Structure 1
């Protein structure tokens, strides 16, 4: 039950990021460049990966289905 609640909380955070756009769009909106942009995109990708892993766990996905779901989820969140 705790895993489901954690996954829901993480997805709520990812949904908030999606409401603002993708990581790439957010970096552009903030006019980030160079090392600041690289750092921002890295953190955004890590956060998206954690949220997507939690969502996959909540859906009880494993193996290739989990990998496929997570890859698409992160790609959608990052924007590329």
Structure 2
């Protein structure tokens, strides 16, 4: 189970990096560096908030039902 969480976290981080990288098109040097830092930080905060909300909504669910719910919830 811990491995699944690690894989999901890596995928979320990779997705966030790709999104920020796309949005940074045309920026160079310090401007790009500052933008990427801000974008990645904001994205992590949004992901943490989404995880908290999904956890609350998943109360009472267990096993495969919880796993499927969390996966769908976090993709929204």
TM-score, normalised to structure 2, is: 0.53
Structure-1 residue corresponding to 2:36: 70
Look up the SS of the partner of 2:36 in the other structure: helix
CA-CA distance at 1:71 after TM superposition:
1.6
Q: Does 1 or 2 have the higher relative contact order (CA < 8 Å, sep 6+)?
A: 1
Paired positions, count = 46
Gaps of 5+ in 1: 1-32
CA RMSD of aligned residues (A): 1.6
Structure 1 stretches (4+) deviating beyond 4 angstroms? Answer: none
CA-CA distance at 1:68 after TM superposition:
1.3
Q: Larger C-alpha radius of gyration, 1 or 2?
A: 2
Structure-1 residue corresponding to 2:6: 38
1:35-61 alpha-carbon deviations (Å, 9 max, x no partner) = 11111111111111111011010xx21
Work out the CA distance in 2 between the residues paired with 1:53 and 1:47.
Answer: 10
